A = this chain, B = another copy of it.
Amino acid sequence: MIPAMSRTPLHPAREQIELPMVLDCLSDPIRLAIVYQLARQEHVSSELCCGDFYALSGKSNLAYHFAKLRECGLMQTRVAGTNRFMRLRREDLEARFPGLLDAVINSAAKDADRLQLLSGCDAVDAD
């Protein structure tokens, strides 16, 4: 039996991803910033780990938001040793809600300053 904490957490199947939950998840400034940072550096690597987001909030609060992002189907978590790597579920989201994720990310990008999306962040290249 694999120990509880080293198992990959549960993720909803593609068809279980619900629009209201996704929108609610993206409406929180910290979660929007997490998604934004993931999207912003997808051309470098599709994954980031928890520690890459410490500029946004404390560890336990981040774990709370990561769980929300997983449960609504926005993110996937892969366990590797003591690290958990997160990535956006782009394909699943595009299949369920075409154009939505990009519209949100592009809209967020326009307001990046106002939304403090990159405050103290060094995991993302500035353009």
Contacts and interface: CB of A to CB of B under 8 A. Distances in A.
B19 A115 contact: yes
Interface string A34-55: 0000000000000000000000
Interface of A: 18-21, 23-24, 26-29, 32, 96-100, 102-104, 106-108, 110-111, 114-115
25 contacts: A18-B114, A19-B104, A19-B107, A19-B108, A19-B111, A20-B29, A20-B32, A21-B27, A23-B26, A23-B32, A24-B24, A27-B27, A96-B110, A97-B103, A97-B107, A97-B110, A98-B106, A98-B107, A99-B99, A99-B102, A99-B103, A99-B106, A100-B103, A100-B107, A103-B103
